[in-house]
Amino acid sequence: MWTTEVNRKTTATKEQIWKLWADVPHWNVWDKNLETSELFGGFQTGTKGALKAVGGPKTKFVMTECTEFKSFTNSSFLPLCKMDFIHTMTETKDGLEIIHKIVMTGLMTFFFSKVIGNKIKVGLPVAVEKLIEVAEMR
C-alpha cells in the first residue's frame, strides 16, 4: 500500500466546498494536474467518469462513496493497482477541515507509486490550497 494525504483548514462553508467537488467538469480549476474530467451521471455513489491528468492518458473512474456535504471517493483502476482518491471535510471548532488522501493498493503499487507517486505528492497540496482559495472567494 502507498498513501499520501493533505489536511488544511478553511473558512469556506461545507456547501462551498461541496459545490466545487461536485462540479466534476471544472476540477481542473483547482487541480492544475488535471486537463479534463467528466462524470457520466449524477454526483453519487456508482456513477462512472473519466479524467485526463496533464501528460497522462485518459483514465476511467467510479464514484465508490459519496455522502453529501461530508465526503466522496473516486477510484481508478490501473493494471493490478487500485487508486482511491478520498476527499473528506469535517467541521471543527477552528473551521472546516479538508482532507484529500490518495491510496494505492495492489500488486503493481510499488511500480505506480514510483512512476506517478512523486508527482501526486507534489501536486496534492497545491490542489487543496487552490480548492480552498477558490471556495473562500465565493
pLDDT tens track for 61-112: 999 999 999 999 999 999 999 999 999 999 999 899 999 999 999 999 999 9
Q: What is the mean pLDDT of residues 111-131?
A: 95
| Cα 75 from chain centroid (whole Å) | 9
Q: What is the mean pLDDT of residues 118-122?
A: 93
- pLDDT at res. 56: 86
The overall average pLDDT reported for the chain is: 96
Residues recorded for the chain: 138
DSSP letter for each residue of the chain: -EEEEEEEEESS-HHHHHHHHH-GGGHHHH-TTEEEEEESS-SSTT-EEEEEETTS-EEEEEEEEEETTTEEEEEEEETTEEEEEEEEEEEETTEEEEEEEEEEESTTHHHHHHHTHHHHHHHHHHHHHHHHHHHHH-
- The rounded distance, in Å, linking the Cα atoms of 26 and 11 is 21
The pLDDT tens digits of the residues spanning 124-134 come to 999 999 999 99
Tell whether the model's pLDDT for residue 136 goes beyond 90. Answer: yes
